[in-house]
Amino acid sequence: MSKFQRFLLKRLAISVLLTLVAVSVIFVVLRLLPGSPFEALVTSGNLNQEQIDEIRAMYGLDQSIWKQYINYLGSLLTFQFGYSILRSQPVWEVLEPRLINSLILLVPALVTTAILSSVLGMYAGWNRGSRLEKASIVSTTLLRSTPVFITAIFFIIVFAYNLEIVPALGMRSIRATPDGYLETFVSLDFLHHYLLPFTVAVLYYSGDFLLLARNGVVEKRGSEFLKLHRAKGLTEMEQLARAGRNSMLPILTYFTLRLGMIFQGLILLEVVFSWPGIGRELVLAIQQQDYPLVQAAVFIMALAVIIANLAADVLYAYFDPTVSTNGGGSA
Amino acid sequence: MTLLNVENLKVTYATDDETVHAVNDVSFSIDEGVNYGLAGESGSGKSTVAEALLGLLPGNGTVERGTIEFNGTDLTSLSEAERRDVLWEDIAYIPQSAMDSLDPVMSTGDQIAQAIHTHRNVTDAKARDRVRELFEIVGLDPDRIDNYPHEFSGGMRQRVTIAMALALEPDLIIADEPTTGLDVIVQDKIIDKILEIQERMDSSLLLITHEIGVIAETCDDLSILYGGKVMEQGSVDNVLVNPTNPYTMGLKNSFPEIDENEDPVAIPGSPPNLNREPTACVFEDRCPFATDECGESHPDLVDLPNRNHRSACHRVKEAAQLRRDADEPETWNIPDDGDADSDRGEVILETDALEKHYEQSQPLLSKLRGEDPDYVKAVDGVSLSVRRSEVLGVAGESGCGKSTLGETMALLEDPTGGDFMFDGEPYEYYRDGNLQEFRRKVQIIFQDPFDSLNPRQTVRKLVGEPLTIHDYRTDEKERAIVETLEKVGLTPAEKFLDQYPHELSGGQRQRVAVAKALVLDPDFLICDEPASMLDVSLKVNLLNLLRGLADAEDIGIVYISHDLASLMQVSDRLAIMYLGRVIEEGDVDRIASQPRHPYTSSLLSAAPEKDPTADRTRVLLEGEPPDPVDLPSGCAFAPRCPKAQGSCWEAEPAIDEIGDETHRAACYFPKGEEGLNASDASAVDETKFPESANTDSVGD
Ligand SMILES: Nc1ncnc2c1ncn2[C@@H]1O[C@H](COP(=O)(O)OP(=O)(O)O)[C@@H](O)[C@H]1O
Ligand code: SF4
Ligand code: SF4
Ligand SMILES: [Mg+2]
């Protein structure tokens, strides 16, 4: 087994362990929440005790907590999320389209901002002290420190209500009845709805990448190897590219981690824009104490984080020739 | 024909509160195919000159005036793009610190290929072929061109930068301290390589270094720089044999050499403040020959009659007399304490087969299977003893276990085997509850001691701190501090008590660091490369200080270094280490004049000499020391040994294989066995140029 394989195996094992822990935590926390999804139905008097017991049995809620836990583990880990209590629909059928909706908004936004802001950040760092550098730092810091829903509302007021360039809410107009993803996403109407939340997401993420890239380049700027590159006759831009390549690792790692946290980060954004994504769905499900739905949504989010962490480690090891892949054993 | 002509170059740096006049009207010219040396202490402006030539000055550096004519074109008047075409194609650069001059995330081969692609229109395959060829030329394995910098050792990285410099066969190679920080053997190999290649390609070389020994051996012409001014210039044979400038004389006298009986004489004081245009001779405040005239103007560089030799000194006419005086330590205000070889006292520290093995980390699976881990044998059976008033030098290449030995002797590392006695008590005595006592009696001084001084503490605080920690002489703290400061030559001590480290010169700071170690009146001092980053004059100061302490204070000292010349100056006895073992040990004079072990001979022959007329035969060692894991049975040096024979591989020679108490070595076929020392050709060549000859040469 090569060093790298060993490293990979170790990281995988850690990830599996983490997933188990995360899943268990979700289980415990949900059971600790006060009330149950049926209480509302019971207090409204629509169901009698017998019916309740029946339903509880149907959802397996009458079994011992251990039994429930085992069943729960079994089904989650095989991606059988069960039925949504309130929607009477398989959970996955509820979540799948919303997951896609979220991804279609957030992944392109994250990629765009990662590329644009990093390049801008590198350029700013190279021209340290220039007006561009100062302006970019001030504006991104401002954007980063403002809560995303405020930026979002501000954009809605300006571009949707005042200028009326784009619609304020939703993903498609109410009248649209698209069939299948292709029809949903490949349409001008969608693009129209897409622009505003996309822009806000791009701006929201830009600060971290910009600062990370700028700091990386500033730190590399006076280094000896760049002097040698300069002596070799590389142009300014080629030198900047080398400085950039040398500060890529933290950016790459950060990108991967951000990708994992993509759903959590912008739940509020989805809520403000009424974007039918997984974040907004989670908020609704929590309000309605729809256990299976919440469980599944949280599980998917946790899994994304864990997988992203794994990917970040592996990418790091792959891209940094100096990182030791034997798990830091050779101290 | 003149290749490079620098005329009245002036470079300044803008800093927050002042302008640094780093290079002041420097002129020199390099002919085609010539090796040109640029020497001087650090801060004299050598690197600034190089960077100005290459157009690599940092953002705050400006070329104020002057011309740099290369092959007839003035480089200072070129546009960015035009200059880029000249760089590397015509002028290549070997940077100062190979350790971090290579791009860490680009393979070494690609970095060289990049230089080729930037200037030539060639295919990738062609460029790769060229890189392989270059690797071969500089003595690297061509199959390693895809390796990254961190996979190479310091010396090998320097070879990569050399290969890069050769890629386009430039007319001029500028090498800025290409060997500083590398140990003698590697340094010697690198210099040899540069010379060999440069000869083959017939390019010119501008070699920048503070080691005039390296210049003496490799260059034809040189300039001596001080305070951004050229102090003396001309052919190496003239300048270094018969220096006419007091600074050159001082620099030359302070360069320690192995086969020299006199102690080197350091230039006292520190380099000038460059915050204004020089109005007096830049060397005035350190020069023992300064007169009123010297305070009025900096002397012009004047041609000396009939020879390639220029000097900037108002008293150049009296050069011969000055030269004679400069050899006397009194001239430089250094008391000559003579060679009072004080009697050595009783044995204070003794090790017997001392071992320090580190367990190598191993994979979980083999751990589960219970396989025996590998051990790195950093120190492997070292038996040494040090007496009071004695300085024991420990020498060896980097990685040979010197530092681990020092740390184990200081009990900063627990020995994994062997016996250890200090002051009559065994290791166990100290381990079980008496470590505090040991820590007071044994002090260790690390590499670059003044980096470790807290900048926010006054000298009083710094030196007093150990007293508080050890609750030693706390009732008369002030007196203890003052006494110690005076002991290390910081007089009057009261003047220094309230100063902060940044207000002191490099040499003074270093004395404070030594004072910190001495304030507890230790019985034993372990110094690990304390001078490796220092300029010659500071280095010599430190060596003299330690030597004096050993004699006057009755303490035992272990001095660890890769710099044999310094070791020879300071030590009574020498132990040569190779791969965790001592392979030769004995009195300094005997080892210097008659090394027995082949490894010692090559170490000795690798040290440069400052006398350009002396010839030295190089014994270049193949390869680098292997990792001290899984060593072959038999003599550990056998794979690199020029004299190895079949029997060497069978059993390991013990340290007392040959010789007696005063000089012993671990070798089956030692030097000097065949004929006696006269035939010892590969050791240091003894023929020295008669120093007094030609003293009547200048102006009288
Ligand atoms: N970037 C810089 N900013 C300000 N001062 C500098 C800078 N680089 C070098 N100096 C100063 O210029 C002088 C010459 O430095 P340098 O050329 O590096 O000398 P050397 O190479 O001989 O050690 C020193 O006094 C140093 O402190
Ligand atoms: S000019 Fe004066 S101060 Fe300068 S080196 Fe000569 S004698 Fe010394
Ligand atoms: S014992 Fe043999 S291999 Fe070892 S140093 Fe002596 S001659 Fe060389
Ligand atoms: Mg320098």
Q: Which residue has the higher pLDDT, B313 or B682?
A: B313
The bridge status of strand B91-94 relative to strand B35-39 is unpaired
* Residue type, position B192, single letter: D
B449 CB near ligand 3 (under 6 Å): no
- Per-residue pLDDT band at A71 (split at 50, 70, 90): confident
CB-ligand 3 contact for B667 (6 Å cutoff): yes
In this prediction, what percent of chain B has a pLDDT beyond 90? 23
CB contact under 8 A, A228 and B161: yes
With a cut of 70, say whether residue B86 has pLDDT above it: yes
pLDDT of amino acid B680: 42
Q: How confident is the model at residue B361 (pLDDT cuts 50, 70, 90)?
A: low
Q: What is the CA radius of gyration of chain B?
A: 26
Cβ separation A330–B360 shorter than 8 A: yes
Is-contact A285 A293, C-beta < 8 A? Answer: yes
According to the model, what pLDDT value does residue B576 have?
Answer: 92
Q: What is the number of the ligand closest to the CA of B48?
A: 1
Continuous H helices in chain A: 3-32, 39-43, 49-58, 65-77, 91-126, 131-145, 148-155, 180-185, 188-221, 224-231, 236-246, 248-260, 262-265, 267-272, 278-287, 291-319
- Distance between CA atoms of residues B191 and A212, nearest Å: 42
Using an 8 Å CB-CB cutoff, list chain A residues near B97: 224
SS3 B520: coil
Average pLDDT over residues B30-45: 89
pLDDT of amino acid B683: 40
> Whose Cα sits closest to atom 11 in ligand 1?
B22
For residue B361, give the nearest of A224, A242, A329 by CB distance. A329
- Range name among A150-159, B193-202, B611-620 with the lowest pLDDT average: B611-620
Residues B421-447: pLDDT tens digits?
Answer: 998 889 889 888 888 889 889 998 876
C-alpha closest to that of B697 among B238, B100, B217, B245:
B238
pLDDT in tens, B505-551: 667 787 888 888 889 889 999 988 877 666 777 777 788 888 888 88
pLDDT digits (tens, 9 = 90+) for A121-134: 999 999 988 898 99
Contact between residue B168 and residue B88 where contact means Cβ atoms under 8 Å apart: yes
Give the number of other CB atoms < 10 A from CB of residue A28: 11
| Sign of the torsion angle spanned by Cα atoms B135, B140, B143, B148 | negative
According to the model, what pLDDT value does residue B627 have? 67
> A216 to chain B: which residues are within 8 Å by CB?
none
The reported pLDDT for the residue numbered B688 is 39
Residue B247 alpha carbon, nearest atom of ligand 2:
5
Q: How far apart are CA A128 and CA A243, in angstroms?
A: 13
The rounded Å distance from CA A219 to ligand 1 centre is 20
Give the angle subtended at the CA of B672 by the CAs of B666 and B674, to the nearest 5°: 110
The confidence band for B700, taking pLDDT boundaries of 50, 70 and 90, is very low
| B127: nearest Cα among B148, B113, B110, B141 | B113
State yes or no: pLDDT of B211 exceeds 90. Answer: no
Residues of chain A neighbouring B161 (CB-CB closer than 8 A): 228
- Cβ burial A115-152 (10 Å sphere, 16+ → b, else e): eebbebbbbbbbeeeeeebeebbeebeebbeeebbebb
**pLDDT reported for residue A33:** 67
Of the candidates B322, B330, B327, the residue with the CA atom closest to the CA atom of residue B697 = B322
Q: How many CB atoms lie within 10 A of CB A57?
A: 11
Which of A262-266, B564-568, B648-652 is least confident?
A262-266
Domain boundaries, chain A: 106-289
Q: Give the number of whichever ligand sits closest to the CA of residue B651.
A: 3
How high is the ipTM of this complex? 0.72
What pTM does this model have? 0.74
**A–B CB contacts, 8 A cutoff, strictly below:** 81
Q: Does the pLDDT at position B675 exceed 70?
A: no
Asked if B254 contacts B266 with a C-beta cutoff of 8 angstroms, the reply is yes
Going by C-alpha positions, the residue among B466, B332, B354, B336 that lies closest to residue B413 is: B354
Identify which of B58, B88, B361 has the shortest CB distance to residue A232: B88
- Complete edge-to-edge strand list for the sheet that includes strand B73-74: B19-31, B2-14, B61-70, B73-74
Examine the pLDDT at B677 and tell me if it is beyond 50: no
Residue of B507, B38, B14, B35 lying closest to B228 (CA atoms): B38
C-beta atoms of A322 and B95 within 8 A: no
What whole-number percentage of chain B has pLDDT above 70? 87
pLDDT band with cut points at 50, 70 and 90 for residue A144: confident
pLDDT band with cut points at 50, 70 and 90 for residue B231: very high
- Looking at the DSSP bridge assignments, the partners of residue B350 are B385, B421
| CA pair distance A65, B420, nearest whole angstrom | 64
Cβ atoms of B523 and B358 closer than 8 Å: no
- Mean pLDDT along residues B468-475: 87
Pair B40, B69: CB distance under 8 Å: no
Among all chains, which residue has been given the structure tokens 């009697």? B343
A6 is written with which tokens?
A: 């060993």
Secondary structure, 3-state, B560-611: EECCHHHHHHHCCEEEEEECCEEEEEEEHHHHHHCCCCHHHHHHHHHCCCCC
Closest approach of B441 to chain A, Cα-based (Å) = 31
> How many of the other CB atoms lie within 10 Å of CB of B561?
26
| Collapsed DSSP state (helix, strand, coil) of residue A6 | helix
CA distance B584 to B598: 10
Q: Give me the DSSP letters along B450-511.
A: GGGS-TTS-HHHHHHHHHHHHT-SGGGHHHHHHHHHHHTT--SHHHHHT--GGGS-HHHHHH
In terms of average pLDDT, the best of A228-237, A297-306, B222-231 is B222-231
Q: Do A233 and B85 touch (CB under 8 A)?
A: yes
**Which residue matches tokens 């910081």?**
B490
Would strands B556-561 and B524-528 be described as parallel, antiparallel, or unpaired?
A: parallel
User: How many angstroms away from the CA of B72 is the closest CA of chain A?
Assistant: 20
Q: Is the pLDDT of residue A330 over 60?
A: no
Chain A: closest CA distance from residue B431 (Å): 25
Residue A213 burial (10 A CB sphere; 0-12, 13-18, 19+): buried
Q: Which residue is closest in CA terms to ligand 2's atom 4?
A: B281
- Scanning every residue of chain B, which has its alpha carbon at the shortest distance from the alpha carbon of A319? B105
Residue B151 exposed, middle or buried by CB count within 10 Å (0-12, 13-18, 19+): middle
Can you list the domains of chain B with their CATH numbers?
2-226 (3.40.50.300), 255-336 (no CATH), 347-578 (3.40.50.300), 589-692 (no CATH)
Contact A225 B103 (CB under 8 A): yes
Three-state DSSP at A301 gives helix
Q: Which ligand is nearest to the CA of B601?
A: 3
Q: For chain A, what is the mean pLDDT?
A: 81
Contact A322 B363 (CB under 8 A): no
3-state per-residue secondary structure call for B606-633: HCCCCCCCCCCCCCCCCCCCCCCCCCCC
**Can you give the pLDDT at residue A43?**
62
Q: For ligand 1, atom 16, name the residue with the nearest CA.
A: B45
Q: Is the peptide bond before B492 cis (omega within 30 degrees of 0)?
A: yes
> Which of the four pLDDT bands, split at 50, 70 and 90, describes residue B686?
very low
Nearest-CA distance from B465 to chain A in Å? 32
CATH of A106-289, one of 3.90.320, 1.10.3470, 2.20.28, 1.10.3720: 1.10.3720
> Is B635's pLDDT higher than 80?
yes
Ligand 2 atom nearest B298 alpha carbon: 1
